[in-house]
Amino acid sequence: MATPVKMPELGESITEGTITRWLKQEGDRVEADEPLFEVSTDKVDTEVPSPVAGTLQSIKVKEDETVEVGAELAVISTGAGQAGGKAAATPEAEPEKAAPAAAGTGGGEGVEAREERAKQAEPAAAAAGDGARGAVVSPLVRRLAREHDIDLSQVKGSGSGGRVRREDVEAYLEGRGKEARPAAARAGDGRAAPAKEGRPAAGAPPRQAIPLVAGIREEVTPATRLRKLIAERMVTSLATSAQLTAAVEIDMTKVMRLRQRAKDDFKAREGVSLSPLPFSILAVIQALRTYPNVNSALDEDMNLHVYQDVNMGIAVDTPKGLFVPVIRNADQLNLAGLARAIADVAGRTRDGKVSPNELSGSTFTVTNTGSVGTVWDTPIINQPNAAIFATPAIVKRPVVMDDPELGEVVAVRHMMYGILTYDHRIVDGADAARFLQKVKQALEAGAFARELGLDEGRG
């Protein structure tokens, strides 16, 4: 009994992925939902779990290979005779290893033949540039090459069969950057920096980290794959769009009083806690209906896509790093529905149970930096969104107010900054200000009593 392992759907518009690491080897025992391999796309790096329990009988796609969604990657044997680990591998597994990876490759062609054919095809792909290399480099590598105007035929690959990996592109960029400083005074000199000034060549021993500050004790820890991916995305986001941040002060007193009155009954009824976040997201959705250009994106050809639905990205802090799962059609949910959806995706993301498809497809993003006490923030846009809204901490402080009888008075209020980072290519400053005022008006009015089943007459 053999179960094929196929490349899963990894999100909207993603048609392929690169196997970056197998977490199990042929002959290893694997449990259902246990991480089986790591895959990289142009949007996310993630672990993919095993669909069944059994023994990993054969691996058909090697590390660094890029395959389409639905391609067969491996075979897991679920028979009792295969449960003994590597020693239990049956003779029938050997022909399986040599089977063709896809139809049309020749019935008798084995793994070695395919590898040799791939090596022979590599120079031709390199000579043809990025377009020809599209099938032999990962989507992430192609995107980096496109963003930094790199001819991949000039980049030496350290992957299997000379495949260009992300690390190779980063090394090439580092070398090019080092050359750019002395070359600034030499117009037209576009030579790449010598290899000795960049990263070590493939196969060379790793160079020792140079202390950034001399004379102090330190511990040097290599960045995780996720940390590198987050760093790359943040820098890419800033390089992609013209980002500007604006903010308004929001009096959250009415919201906080409603929350205080409703939170116990809400928890008993809905099964989740009632935080200020769903109130803010509901107000943001109302503002997006009025100013739909904030719920949009620019494509590579500078066409503006204005979305009619709101897929809300929610930034979630996890032990592994920052993830942004998506609540699809958030504009169709009421306050209770948003609270449940936030708790659901945030909990599953922290537990590592969110699917790759749930980490893409957002049209707007909210980040709740106030959950850890931050009172001010300048968030970076989650590409390709046009904007991101931050909800920092709500704090009590004295505020000057206009009382109809007493005139100007000082009162203690619950105050929060509503912060919007927006793409100035899409959203003008005046539109951003009007959007923030719409959010402010909705939250300060605090007209959420009916959604909470409360008497609207009480403040």
Instruction: List beta partners, residue 243.
Output: 423
* Cα–Cα distance, 342 to 349 (Å, whole number): 11
State which H helix or E strand residue 30 sits in: strand 29-30
* Residue 134: other Cβ atoms inside 10 A: 16
Rounding to the nearest 10 degrees, give the CA dihedral for residues 128, 130, 136, 138. 180
Query: Three-class SS of residue 5?
Result: strand
DSSP codes, 325-374: -EETTGGG--HHHHHHHHHHHHHHHHTT---GGGGS--SEEEE-GGGGT-
From residue 74, give the alpha-carbon distance in Å to each of 24, 52, 60, 209, 420.
11, 12, 5, 38, 45
> Could you tell me what percentage of the chain is helix, strand and coil, using 3-state DSSP and rounding each to the nearest 5?
35, 20, 40
> 51: which residues sit within 8 A by CB, 6+ positions away?
3, 5, 32, 76
How far, CA to CA in Å, does 2 sit from each of 15, 82, 159, 291? 26, 10, 30, 53
Q: Does residue 111 contact residue 98 with C-beta atoms inside 8 Å? A: yes
Q: Which residues are catalytically annotated? A: 424, 428
Strands 304-306 and 312-318: unpaired
* 204 vs 164: CA distance, rounded Å: 16
* DSSP characters over 128-183: T-TTGGGGTS-HHHHHHHHHTT--GGGSPP-SGGG---HHHHHHHHHHHHHHHHHH
Tokens found for residue 306: 């204005």
Distance between CA 223 and CA 23 in Å, rounded? 19
